[in-house]
Amino acid sequence: MFIVNNYPLAIIFCVITMLCWGSWGNTQKLAGKTWRYELFYWDYVIGVLLLSLIFAFTLGSMGSSGRGFIADLGQADMKNIGSAFLGGIIFNAANILLSAAIAIAGMSVAFPVGIGLALVLGVIVNYMGSQKGDPLFLFLGVGLITLAIIVNAFAYKKASSGNQKVTSKGIFISILAGLLMSFFYRFVAASMDLDNFESPAAGKMTPYTAVVIFSLGIFISNFLFNTVLMKKPISGEPTNYKAWFKGKFSIHWVGILGGLIWGVGNSLNLIAAGKAGAAISYGLGQGATLVAALWGVFIWKEFKNSPKGTNGMLVIMFVLFVLGLASIIYAGQ
């Protein structure tokens, strides 16, 4: 299987993760013009699972290094399989709750509370599990990126034409989404031997196998989570599976593409974790929020005709973001 053997390549993979995790939402915007979010989400989940299988039978099976996907799956013990599967369930619940929080409280509350909490707590959890990297520069970088997310949220709020009323319910759901999001990665990382991908300990899985099990956790739990969401949607009328089957291939493909993009980032991130460490890989990956902001600024023109001072906030946000990334990358040297 393909293994990352040097730190610079691991960082490149983490940056690609950041780009992928920050870009897949564009497919949701495209599909959202004619397609309900709940229906799009099914296509997205299928794309995530499909990508994990593609990687498992290609990069995860070729070459002479490490165990191939089938052999690795056959020797994995149920504890580690269950850990990666649980990670998928937790991620799926967090993702859906975050969507609900955005609908109730708006991006200016959901993102700094949810993603900010997930970034800080997630790095702490993953660093405790696998202590790789200089903690001073690692947490300095996390702090700078968290500040960037908060500044980004204020910019969104300033640019918003409608002042959405913030309720305690929206804040509570944002906190719950952030708490869950901060733990999913650790369960997946715990199922792997982060110290030796080439000859993993017996019962542990390679990142390729772990990602497949993780993706199955997302897919199977979606029958519960998304079915509830379809019957009791965050906004709009209830929908059903008949509507999903009536969708044209072109609209299904947009959602699947979104899942493929997110899945590429997820796989590369976990592949890089063996060399960079789980905390650094996760921390860099969660910088995707600011990549999404770049799309919003330059492609979707979300800040066009914004009030005076918004552009200055965006500049501060990007400076903090770049400094934060540099600090996290330096932490692993």
Q: Which helix (H) or strand (E) holds 95?
A: helix 78-105
**C-beta separation of 7 from 332 below 8 A:** yes
Range from 16-30, 233-247, 271-285, 290-304 carrying the lowest mean pLDDT: 290-304
Q: How confident is the model at residue 41 (pLDDT cuts 50, 70, 90)?
A: very high
CA distance linking residue 35 with residue 246, whole number of Å? 11
> For 114, which DSSP code?
I
Mean pLDDT for 243-247 is: 96
pLDDT at 78: 97
Q: Is residue 161 over pLDDT 70?
A: no
> Which pLDDT score is estimated for 60?
96
User: Higher pLDDT residue, 100 or 19?
Assistant: 19
pLDDT of residue 290: 81
Mean pLDDT in residue range 312-329: 92
pTM of the model: 0.91
Q: CA–CA distance from 129 to each of 183, 185, 230 (Å)?
A: 11, 11, 37
d(CA 42, CA 255): 8
Q: Quick: pLDDT tens for 68-97.
A: 999 999 999 999 999 999 999 999 999 999
Over residues 132-155, the pLDDT tens digits come to 899 999 999 999 999 988 988 888
Does residue 163 carry a pLDDT above 70? no
Q: Taking the CA atoms of the chain, what radius of gyration do you get in angstroms?
A: 19
Count of residues in the chain: 333
Using 50, 70 and 90 to split pLDDT, how confident is the model at 164?
A: low
Where on the phi/psi map is residue 73: left (φ > 0), alpha (ψ -120 to 50), or beta? alpha
Name the pLDDT band for 277 (thresholds 50, 70, 90).
very high
pLDDT surpasses 80 at 107: no
